[in-house]
Copies of this chain bind each other. A is one copy, B any other.
Amino acid sequence: MDKPEAEPEADASAASPAPYRLDDQVGHLLRRANQRHLAIYGRAIQELTPMQFATLAKLHEAGALSQNALGRLTAMDAATIKGVVDRLRKSGQVQTENDKTDRRRTIVSLTPEGRALVESLFARAHDVSRETLSPLDATEQAMFLHLLRKMI
Residues of chain A whose beta carbon lies under 8 Å from any beta carbon of chain B: 17-22, 25-38, 41, 50, 54, 57-58, 60-61, 73-75, 122-123, 125-126, 128-129, 132-133, 135-136, 140, 143-145, 147-152
Residue in B37, B54, B58 whose CB lies within 8 Å of A26: B37
Q: List the B residue with the shortest CB-CB distance to A118.
A: B20
Point out the residues of chain B lying under 8 angstroms from A136, CB to CB.
147, 150-151
25 interchain pairs (CB within 8 A)?
Answer: A18-B126, A22-B58, A25-B125, A25-B129, A26-B133, A27-B50, A27-B129, A27-B132, A28-B54, A29-B145, A29-B149, A30-B33, A30-B34, A30-B148, A31-B34, A31-B75, A33-B148, A33-B151, A34-B34, A35-B75, A132-B151, A133-B151, A135-B150, A136-B150, A140-B150
Return A85 CB to nearest CB of chain B, in Å. Answer: 16
B132 adjacent to A26 (CB under 8 Å):
yes
Point out the residues of chain B lying under 8 angstroms from A20, CB to CB.
57, 60-61, 122, 125-126
Q: 10 tightest A-B contacts by CB?
A: A144-B147, A30-B34, A27-B37, A29-B148, A20-B122, A26-B132, A135-B151, A32-B152, A25-B129, A34-B34
Q: Whole-angstrom distance between the alpha carbons of A35 and B97 in the complex?
A: 30
